[in-house]
Structure 1
Amino acid sequence: MPGEPLDATRVLSDLLSRPSQEGILEGALSYAATLLGGAVQGYAVVRRGQDRVAAVFGYPKELLGAALSGPWSALRPRVLADGSRELYEQNGPEVTALLDSCGLRDVTVSLVVPLSDRGRNLGALVLDRTGPEGVTPGAQEAVTKWAAAVAPLLGVLEGREEWRQAARQLTAALVEAVESREFDSLGHAQSVADISMKLGRMVGLAGRELDELWFAATLHDLGKLHGEPGHALVGANFLHGVPHLAEAQKAIRHHHERWDGQGEPDKLAGEDIPLYARILAVANAFVRMGDVDRLKPHAGKALDARLVGLLEKLPK
């Protein structure tokens, strides 16, 4: 797997703790760079009247805000085998002097991936190399899919409810990307989240409580990026610095505790285990076992017996 997988979760952390256009695009560039692998720098351009650099990865901050013309007008990905030639040809002396000072003259190959939503060209991610490596078709496809997941967020940065939906959208896209590349359980997180939400409503959770439960369920296995052992602790750390998801963080940390106190990491027992973690444990076990009857022997031992009982009342 190219790059450091932690960068993928940094996208999520930035999104949830710093909901801004620059925050989203910086994270998008960072993860796109890991998909390409190797030494990669990049910048994001947004198209609002004059095209401008809205985020950078690996390039100096002086590039931010620069008004540029460049090879990103088409709604299709492009690999530029001649590096930054088109970029230099389309801009005047003042801009090219800035590009020189930021090191873009040394670019040998560029991947330009549009950020488009429902036919609207919102901008582009530009990933640059200065070495001899090229861009493989597989890497280009992976970055293109990632850009397609990020692009709709750029249009929904105003309004609390819209941001809530945007945060969910990118979270789900990130988890699906991780599951499809790392695990044999594509769709597992969504299934666990669906059951968790149903159980949450049955025990009286609502509003923000259900939001936190959804994030906990969707992200509960993300720590497996670093291997199975201790993945709950690793996963909880991904939400460090996101205070409004503190309960989701605790749920992820404790979703492998057992009702009888023989779980991990802290050997909590009974109702000392956070409610969201108990819900998550039952939903996770149900999705993996596929039948309530198979969970019943674990009720009162590994799982909260009341929550197992509630599973029987869910609509078939």
Structure 2
Amino acid sequence: MEAVRVLNDLLARPTHEGVLEGALSHASFLLGGNLRGYAVTHRAQGQDRAAQDRAPQDRAAPDRSAQDRVAAVFGYPKALVGTPLSGPWATLRTRVLSDGSGQLYAANPPELHGILDTCGMRDVALSLVVPVNDRGRNLGALVLDRNSPEDIGTAAQELVTRWATAIAPLLGLLESREEWKLTARQVSSAVVEAFESQDFDGLGHAQAVAEASVKLGRAVGLVDRELDELWFAATLHDLGKIHGEKGHPQVGANFLHGVPHLAQAQKAVRHHHERWDGQGEPDKLAGEDIPLYARILAVANAYVHLGDFERLRGEAGKGLDARLVGLMEKVSAESPAK
């Protein structure tokens, strides 16, 4: 029954952080409890999803932070998640560190020591580092910390090592899915850019609308999966113009026909020219009968086209959802879309 419970816990949050939190929790259980821990992921340059989601002007130059970062915690503050770290997990074998966090501090620059101090890592007396490998590929490591110098026996180390081996394929599967999603984004962006290049004034429009849409979607409370679909809708919203301006929303929606995972994106593309007052196209939907993604896309599209909120506010309650116009103004004041 314990195995079933653990499996349910892992699958309840099928993300890197969710799976690794569950993995740390069960590893602590296997070691008798009274431990804290964190999981570090090792990812190739370009696979960092957070960096991909940032606007180009906000992206830092590539450095080691794109390689190793904290992906989940157990017993440590959540603020540690996302922190770039170097540490004693490069070797592909389980190790007990009797000097506690000494090697961790030595491997990282002084500017990170304050974060580690805040998390209480100077109090660590002993650490167990367990690599996570999928078919010889280094995915990262589980690090379990104990404040007392009580040793962790060989049998317990083997238990946790086997546990890390068991979860590695699931992490590998999640990473493969992320790689596929990134590839799909890159291909979509390339296709749209090739289309936009026919009209110099249109270059970058889809990217700007996508960035504004995701900001607005996040403010509405959409989760990552929903934001992904909204991104595709915004990026592809004008692709139907390849057959001309007239009726392009329906043409663009037809391009997404038969893609089950983008069903809501298809609706958004089809209906992004509907109007809140019911005078839009193609189906003259009004108010909240217009799909949410389409209303978000319409506001973001108008914001990018008009360029100022005085003109955008003039469309609130007429062509656009007034609540979303207000949110767009709020999130743009906090972090202006470029």
- Tell me the TM-score normalized by structure 1: 0.50
- Tell me the TM-score normalized by structure 2: 0.46
